[in-house]
Amino acid sequence: MSKTDEQYRQTLIHQQYRIYKDHAAVKLCGWLKQSMLRGRHCYKQDFYGIQTHRCLQMTPALNECTHQCPFCWRIEGQDFQVREWAEPKDMLDHLIAYQRLLISGFKGDRRCDPQMYEEAMNPNQVAISLAGEPTIYPYLSDFIKECHRRDMTTFLVTNGTLPERLAALDTLPRQLYVTVAAPDEETYRHACHPKIPDGWQQIRKTLELLPSLDTRTVIRHTLVQNINLFRPEDYAKLDRIADPDLVEPKGYVFVGGSRQRLTVDEMPSFDTIRAFSEKLGAELGMEIIKEKKDSRVLLLGHRGIETDVRRAWANGLPPSPRTEWLTAVRTV
């Protein structure tokens, strides 16, 4: 590892990342800390039923991404080639061990409930979303399979620029997010700073792929004031291609590395995101079914859909009307 790479690694460790084999990492989510010490939890618990204090926030591709989005919280411009990719089981074991070390400091805190502490030491939800583009990891399907073998739910967040990687997954996550941060190619180039020439075309291929995937799908619109927060009718055109189960409009939050690239003025208010969501929902025939003001996020879906991820998958039942239809078509 070069001197520059080692300095970068030390910066991440100082920021409480714990890194395995130069490409995989875990970091405690701020909401996990809030959950354990103050009884507050992240919006994914309200929306999808996961337990905030039992969530493993990780990435298998810490430094690898096809975008340089200014709104991303990661340090950018430090990508380096991975020399050796970790095996899935080994990687999961090490990241859980690192998370336990990070959590161990809560044990002596009187604000932390002992039972919650013991539960937190055994995560049952994996958010494959911390940083980088996770579909670059070559053993992603086996990693997801290993998580499911341990009865852990999995949320995978992708920027959609590698549709062939998604199509090749033998095991899909329990919930697949695709981030669509622009309503058109020109805005995409301004908002996402792609490092590949055909990123927009690849995202559209991913959207075309989504209806065929037998899992719950979510389109996330990360919305930044004065950059991409406009024309909900054109976002709706893209969403119709994907035919997702749910749509998650989320306002940019002024945190992490993005503070060196944007200003607090780019962080939209919750009311602005809600107004956008109402217009988008009207275009899609969806309604606002969940919202969390302090996270600047809302959830659009069809009335009656089961949003709790474990209940949705209980007994092997399809998680939404869309995949119920898909299953019926495949059995004909």
pLDDT at residue 325 is higher than 60:
no
Q: How does residue 260 score in pLDDT terms, banded at 50, 70 and 90?
A: confident
Say what angle helices 199-209 and 232-242 make with each other, to 10 degrees.
50
Lowest pLDDT segment from 1-10, 76-85, 279-288: 1-10
Note the pLDDT of residue 17.
84
Mean pLDDT of 250-265: 77
pLDDT at residue 315 is higher than 60:
no
pLDDT at residue 91 is higher than 80:
yes
Q: How does residue 146 score in pLDDT terms, banded at 50, 70 and 90?
A: very high
pLDDT at residue 163 is higher than 80:
yes
Residue 19 pairs in a beta bridge with 25
Instruction: State the sign of the Cα–Cα–Cα–Cα dihedral 131, 133, 137, 141.
Output: positive
Lowest pLDDT segment from 17-21, 124-128, 176-180, 281-285: 17-21
Going by C-alpha positions, the residue among 93, 98, 62, 54 that lies closest to residue 80 is 62
Lowest pLDDT segment from 133-142, 213-222, 317-326: 317-326
Number of domains, the chain: 1
Note the pLDDT of residue 69.
80
Note the pLDDT of residue 329.
46
The percentage of the chain sitting over the pLDDT mark of 70, rounded to a whole number, equals: 90
Mean pLDDT of 320-326: 53
pLDDT at residue 89 is higher than 50:
yes
Strands 18-20 and 24-26: antiparallel
Structure tokens at 115: 């039972």
Cβ neighbours of residue 194 closer than 8 Å, sequence gap 6 or more:
66, 67, 68, 161, 188, 200
Note the pLDDT of residue 252.
86
Higher local confidence (pLDDT), 264 or 139: 139
Note the pLDDT of residue 324.
54
Note the pLDDT of residue 292.
95
Note the pLDDT of residue 14.
80
Mean pLDDT of 229-239: 97
Mean pLDDT of 149-153: 96
Mean pLDDT of 233-248: 97
Mean pLDDT of the chain: 89
Residue 287 pairs in a beta bridge with 301
Euclidean distance between CA atoms 191 and 179, whole angstroms: 12
Mean pLDDT of 274-287: 97
Euclidean distance between CA atoms 90 and 125, whole angstroms: 17
Note the pLDDT of residue 68.
82
Note the pLDDT of residue 264.
81
Note the pLDDT of residue 48.
95
pLDDT at residue 332 is higher than 50:
no
Residue 200 pairs in a beta bridge with none
**CATH code, 237:** 3.20.20.70
pLDDT at residue 169 is higher than 90:
yes
User: What are 173-217's pLDDT values in tens digits?
Assistant: 999 999 999 999 999 999 999 999 999 999 999 999 999 999 999
pLDDT at residue 330 is higher than 70:
no
* Continuous H helices in 15-150: 30-38, 43-48, 88-103, 114-120, 140-149
Range of the domain at 298: 3-331
Burial category of 174 from C-beta neighbours within 10 Å (exposed 0-12, middle 13-18, buried 19 and up): buried
- Match 């080692």 to its residue by tokens: 6
Give yes or no for a contact between 146 and 125, defined as CB atoms under 8 angstroms apart: no
Note the pLDDT of residue 319.
54
Element (H, E) at 249: strand 246-251
